[in-house]
Amino acid sequence: MLYNMKALLEKARESSWAVGSFSVANMEMVLGVLKAAEETQSPVILQIAEVRLKQSPLEIIGPLMVAAAKNASVPVAVHFDHGLTIDKIKQALEIGFTSVMFDGSHLPLEENIAKTKQTVELAKEYGAAVEAEIGCVGGSEDGSKDIAINCTSPAQAVEFVEKTKVDALAIAIGNAHGNYKETPHLRFDILEEIKSSVDVPLVLHGGTGILPEEFVRCRENGIKKINIATATFDNVQQSVRRAYEEGNISGYYDLQAAEVEGAYRNAIKHIEIFDCAGKAHLI
C-alpha cells in the first residue's frame, strides 16, 4: 500500500520505534526489502538518492518503486533522497513519490531555507511530504567525497523548521554516509536538545556501521526515519559472492535470487533493531 511518508513517521512518534528507509538500485533490492517488510508486518520506506540516478535512471526505477509499493500488503512510502535539483524533485513527484528531500545542507542557512520552502510549496501540489537537512552529515551519498561532519546547531534547527514547515528534519550528530573509517561518536546531547526544541520527526542518515544500541538510543530520542544505503548494497554484493563461492548459481535466476536474499537479510536485521516489526497495523 502506497502511503505518504508523514503518516508513517507521525505514527512512529507516538512510541519508541523508527521506520527503516532502505536505498534501492534495482528490482531485486525492492523485492528483498518488501519481502522483509511483509514477512515482519512492518511499515517501510523505499528510497533512491539523486546521485544514484546515473546507474538507476529515475524514469525507470521510479515507476517500479511506486508500483511495488502499491502492490505491497504493508504501508510503504516512496522517497526521493538527497534531491539536489528542483527538476529531479519535480520528476519524482510526477512519477508518484510520496515524499522528497531537498538537500541544501551545503548551502548557507538562508539559501537552504529559501530553496527548501520552494520544495515544500511544490510538494503540496502533489500531496507529498518533504524532508530537508541542516548541518552536514559526513561523506557523500555515493561515497565519492570525503565531506567533513558539521553537527547541527539546535538553534538553527528551530529556525529552519519554523520557516520551512518541513515534515521531517535530517540532522548531523556525528553520523556519516558510507562505511565508517572508525567507530562513530554520536552527539546524543545535540540530538536530545533538538528533539526537545522542534516538533517534527528527525532523520538519521549514514546508518551503516552504527551500533545497534546506538540505533535504539536514537529512536528513543526522536529519530523516526533511519536511512540504510551502504549496508544494503554491501549485503547484496556479499550475498552474490557467497552464492558463487558455494556453487549455488547456475544461471541468471539464481543470481537474481541471491540479490533479493541479500537485500532481504539486511532489511530483516535493521527492522528488528528499529523495532518496527508488527507495526504495520498501526498506520
Span 30-83, pLDDT tens digits: 999 999 999 999 999 999 999 999 999 999 999 999 999 999 999 999 999 999
Residues marked as catalytic? 81
pLDDT of residue 208: 73
pLDDT of residue 176: 66
Question: Which sign does the torsion angle of CA 247, 250, 253, 255 carry?
Answer: positive
Query: What whole-number distance in Å separates Cα of residue 80 and Cα of residue 58?
Result: 9
Question: Which of 124, 137, 160 lies closest to 82 in space, CA to CA?
Answer: 137
Strand partners, 22: 46, 228
User: For residue 19, what is the domain's CATH number?
Assistant: 3.20.20.70
User: What are the distances in angstroms from CA 84 to CA 25, 106, 179, 280?
Assistant: 18, 10, 22, 31
- State mean pLDDT over 83-89: 96
User: What are the distances in angstroms from CA 16 to CA 38, 59, 171, 205, 207?
Assistant: 21, 36, 18, 18, 17
Cell numbers at 266, concatenated: 539486511
Cell numbers at 45, concatenated: 520506506
Global confidence as pTM: 0.91
Q: How many CA atoms are closer than 13 Å to the CA of 32, on its beta-carbon side? A: 28
The range of the structural domain enclosing residue 174 comes to 5-282
pLDDT digits (tens, 9 = 90+) for 150-164: 788 999 999 999 999
Count of domains observed in the chain: 1
- Is the predicted pLDDT of residue 182 greater than 70, yes or no? no
Predicted confidence band of residue 186 (pLDDT cuts 50, 70, 90): confident
